[in-house]
């Protein structure tokens, strides 16, 4: 691999939020595919030690600008400096519960960031745009729990989810008025795991909201026990079912999405589900964790959490057929990698 600063200049991809959990793994995949990611991140929801991890994996630290994506003037300088071939827009808040408590924080940052980047993309004619969307746009699916991209969307259960739905609508309107502007919405299911090297992974600030970081933090002794939110759901074991996708597989989907945009010169507005197609219950996740790590997890059943969807998993055939994307890791791999990362974090912090 070439030193990052010598990599091809016509292959620059803007990665907003590239120091975050999914962003950092995507940086690795992009560089492996020959692109030069230009990261914009102000580290408000990530930690600078991600740079050390990326350096260990890549042999060099990626180009990074410490900026708020809502800052139009500062972002414009970035668009003037580089000739971007495409944009992957990750930078956004993502905590469901916090968004209920503080909706304006979410609308202002998630929508403000998106419109700022879109305005500049149009002004500087960067016409290939990949948006971090979420399966939250489907809400609680009626009937079949395996959703396709055509499954009707329903009201998201949080302001966070609403920002994803509104984000997709904004991009639809922008694409409609600018046919050269090509858009892919990647609807992520539940990202889990860490890079197999354990040099990068998820680093929740404060108490984790998501299941797997809470599992690994409990196992390492940061919490007394995990609370399973509800055991009386209409599922085989009474706990909620999700489609857990390894973060490296999710990252590789972004490279495939860019390739799809680059090879298609027609107007494009497409959504793709990025999941494994397999639903796993919370109790199953715990069993897998205990079996794969040999660590006994302390857990209790608690009350249901407000706004939780009972069961959802992806039909990702469209991604396989059109993007030529498929996950290569299993949930067992993801759990092992998440655990290796949790242990590695002891060295970092
Ligand atoms: N859970 C627990 N205990 C915990 C944490 C989570 O029982 O301590 C349960 C939740 O109640 C849920 C399941 O584990 O049933 C998964 O919860 P996560 O918080 O890990 O994930 P969610 O499915 O709630 O949310 C994820 C993403 C969101 C996205 C959403 C779409 O975090 O960004 O999927 O469904 F919007």
105 CA → ligand 1 middle, Å: 20
Determine if ligand 1 sits within 6 Å of the CB of residue 16. no
Written as tens digits, the pLDDT of the chain (349 aa) is 555 554 556 799 999 999 999 999 999 999 999 999 999 999 999 999 999 999 999 999 999 999 999 999 999 999 999 999 999 999 999 988 899 999 999 999 999 999 999 999 999 999 999 999 999 999 999 888 999 999 999 888 899 999 999 999 999 999 999 999 999 999 999 999 999 999 999 998 889 999 999 999 999 999 999 999 999 999 999 999 999 999 999 999 999 999 999 999 999 999 999 999 999 999 999 999 999 999 999 999 999 998 899 999 999 999 999 999 999 999 999 999 999 999 999 877 6
Predicted confidence at residue 5, as pLDDT, reads 52
**Which among 82, 93, 160, 203 is annotated as catalytic?**
160
- Please work out, in degrees rounded to the nearest 5, the angle formed at the alpha carbon of residue 172 by the alpha carbons of 106 and 16: 50
Predicted confidence at residue 7, as pLDDT, reads 55
Determine if ligand 1 sits within 6 Å of the CB of residue 158. no
Give the span between the Cα atoms of 274 and 249, in whole angstroms.
9
- Is 323 in contact with 252 (CB distance < 8 Å)? no
210 CA → ligand 1 middle, Å: 5
Q: Which of 226, 233, 242 to mutate to test the pocket of ligand 1 (most atoms within 8 A of CB)?
A: 242
Instruction: Give the strand pairing for 280-281 and 241-242.
Output: antiparallel
Angle at which helices 331-348 and 211-219 cross, to 10°: 60
Q: Which of 282, 302, 331 to mutate to test the pocket of ligand 1 (most atoms within 8 A of CB)?
A: 282
127 CA → ligand 1 middle, Å: 33
CA distances from 27 to 16, 110, 139, 200 (A): 11, 21, 30, 11
Instruction: Report the nearest-CA residue for atom 2 of ligand 1.
Output: 228
Nearest in space to 15 (alpha carbons), one of 127, 132, 165:
132
343 CA → ligand 1 middle, Å: 22
Determine if ligand 1 sits within 6 Å of the CB of residue 22. no
Give the span between the Cα atoms of 148 and 272, in whole angstroms.
9
Determine if ligand 1 sits within 6 Å of the CB of residue 157. no
Predicted confidence at residue 9, as pLDDT, reads 61
160 is catalytic: yes
Determine if ligand 1 sits within 6 Å of the CB of residue 280. no
58 CA → ligand 1 middle, Å: 31
CA 111 from centroid of its chain's CA atoms? 17
How is domain 12-193+244-275 classified at the CATH fold level? Rossmann fold (3.40.50)
Residue 229 bridge partners (DSSP) = 302
Instruction: Give the strand pairing for 128-134 and 182-188.
Output: parallel
Query: Domain-by-domain residue ranges, the chain?
Result: 12-193+244-275
Instruction: Report the nearest-CA residue for atom 29 of ligand 1.
Output: 136
Query: 126 is written with which tokens?
Result: 């960067």
């Amino acid at each position: 691999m070439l030193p990052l600063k010598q990599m091809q200049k016509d292959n620059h991809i803007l990665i907003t939020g590239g120091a975050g959990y999914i962003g950092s793994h995507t940086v690795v995949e992009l560089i492996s595919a020959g692109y030069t990611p230009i990261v914009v991140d102000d580290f408000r929801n990530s930690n600078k030690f991600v740079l050390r991890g990326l350096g260990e994996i890549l042999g060099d630290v990626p180009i990074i600008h410490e900026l708020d994506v809502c800052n139009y003037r500062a972002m414009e300088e970035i668009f003037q400096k580089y000739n971007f071939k495409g944009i992957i827009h990750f930078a956004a808040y993502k905590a469901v519960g916090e968004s209920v408590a503080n909706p304006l924080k979410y609308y202002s940052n998630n929508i403000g960031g998106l419109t700022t980047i879109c305005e500049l993309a149009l002004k500087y004619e960067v016409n290939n745009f990949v948006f971090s969307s979420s399966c939250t746009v489907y809400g609680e699916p009626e009937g079949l729990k395996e959703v396709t991209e055509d499954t009707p969307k329903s009201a998201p259960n949080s302001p966070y989810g609403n920002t994803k739905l509104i984000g997709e609508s904004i991009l639809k309107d922008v694409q409609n008025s600018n046919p050269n502007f090509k858009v892919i919405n990647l609807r992520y299911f539940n990202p889990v795991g860490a890079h197999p090297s354990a040099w990068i992974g998820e680093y929740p600030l404060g108490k984790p909201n998501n299941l797997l970081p809470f599992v690994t933090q409990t196992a390492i002794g940061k919490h007394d026990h995990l609370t399973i939110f509800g055991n009386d759901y209409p599922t085989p074991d009474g706990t909620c079912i999700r489609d857990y996708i390894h973060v490296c597989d999710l990252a590789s989907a972004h490279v495939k999405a860019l390739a799809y945009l680059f090879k298609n010169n027609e107007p494009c507005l497409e959504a793709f589900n990025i999941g494994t197609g397999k639903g796993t219950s919370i109790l199953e996740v715990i069993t897998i964790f205990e079996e794969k790590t040999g660590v006994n997890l302390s857990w209790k059943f608690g009350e249901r959490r407000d706004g939780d969807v009972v069961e959802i998993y992806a039909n990702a055939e469209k991604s396989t057929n059109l993007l030529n994307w498929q996950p290569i890791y299993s949930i067992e791999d993801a759990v092992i990698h998440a655990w290796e990362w949790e242990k590695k974090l002891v060295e970092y912090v």
